[in-house]
Structure 1
Amino acid sequence: MSITWILVANASAAYLYANYGPKKGLQKVKEFRHDASREKRVGLVSDRPGSNKSNGNGRGAYIPATDPKQHEAHNFACRLARELEQGRTTNSYQRLILVVSAPFIGLINSSLGSHVHNLVSDTFEKDYTRASEKNLTRHLESCIYL
């Protein structure tokens, strides 16, 4: 029997579902929250940007190389990738479907290892994190027999 995991995610929430075969439906395996991704940029940094002296009379403001919100989203993507890798090494699933919001899918794809990438059968660039299980099932009918 082939077990399929379905990751439904955006930058602040993720749900991991499993399908254990035809007519078994979806079962929620795990739920992830990343509230830092919902914070305002100001709330993610500890203090004001520093300044530097420039040639002439003015001063320049230091701009961080990485956007704090982007950094938090990357941290969350890495956390999800570790969870998927752990599931792969314990043989918890044989097939993976990604249902991830468009801006976040790139971070997920870049965080996944090659072995997990090989298990991805379908990818949907949609944010269904607020969808009910019934609606999610309807959207996944094309790639999995639920």
Structure 2
Amino acid sequence: MATTWILIANASFARLYANHGIKKGLQLIKEFNHPESREKSAELVSDRPGHNKSQGNGHGAFVAASQPKQNEAGKFAQELAQVLEHGRTSNIFDRVILVASAPFIGLLNNQFNTHVRNLITDTIEKDYTRFAPQELTGRLSHCIYL
């Protein structure tokens, strides 16, 4: 019977479930926590932005090229993509269902290589991280037989 991995994620928390066939339900494989994504931007950087002088009486501050929270979310997406890549190379699963919050799903998709991307059969742009496995089965019944 084909094994399906279901990744439920947002920028700071994720759960990876497995389904091993009809009437087998969801089995929790691992939980991932990335508290840095919940931190305030000021707590993620060590210094205040530098200042620049302009002509006249004006002042300005340098703006970072990217936001620290965005960087942390990208690191978390990379970690989750590595887990799926390891599962793919170990032949642990046959397909993936990806459920992630709207801003985070794009970061995840950018991290997946072509091989993992080809195994993703369903993508749901919702944040289901707070749902219990029993509630997830109802919400995912359209894409997997639980």
| Matching residue of 2:107 | 107
Q: Distance in 1 between matches of 2:5 and 2:44?
A: 32
5+ unaligned residues in a row in structure 1: which ranges?
A: none
Counterpart AA for 1:73:
A
Q: State the 1:41 CA deviation.
A: 1.0
Return 21-30 or 53-62, whichever deviates more.
53-62
1:61 paired residue number = 61
Instruction: Return the TM-score normalized by structure 2.
Output: 0.97
Q: Displacement of 1:50 after TM fit?
A: 0.6
Structure 2 unmatched ranges of 5 or more = none
Match of 2:128 in 1: 128
Cα shift readout 1:73-115 (whole Å, capped 9, x = no counterpart): 1110011001100110000101000010111110011111100
Residue of structure 1 in register with 2:80 after alignment:
80
For residues 84 and 120 of structure 1, what CA distance do their matches in structure 2 show? Answer: 10
* Residue 22 (structure 2) pairs with residue 22 (structure 1): yes
CA distance in 1 between partners of 2:105 and 2:96 (Å): 14
Deviation (angstroms), 1:52: 1.8
SS at match of 1:5: strand
Which one is further off, 30-39 or 56-65?
Answer: 56-65
Deviation at 1:54, TM superposition (A): 2.2
Amino acid of the structure 2 residue aligned with 1:95: R
Specify the alignment match of 1:41 in structure 2.
41
The one-character-per-residue Cα deviations of 1:10-60 (angstroms, maximum 9, x if unpaired) are 000000000011111000001100000000111111121111222334332
Task: State how far apart, in whole Å, the 2-side matches of 1:27 and 1:107 are.
Answer: 25
Sequence identity (%): 62
Specify the alignment match of 2:98 in structure 1. Answer: 98
- Secondary structure at the counterpart of residue 138 of structure 1: helix
The CA RMSD over aligned residues, in Å, is 0.8
Secondary structure of 1:82's match?
A: helix
Q: Which residue of 1 aligns with 2:13?
A: 13
Which residue in 2 is equivalent to 1:116? 116
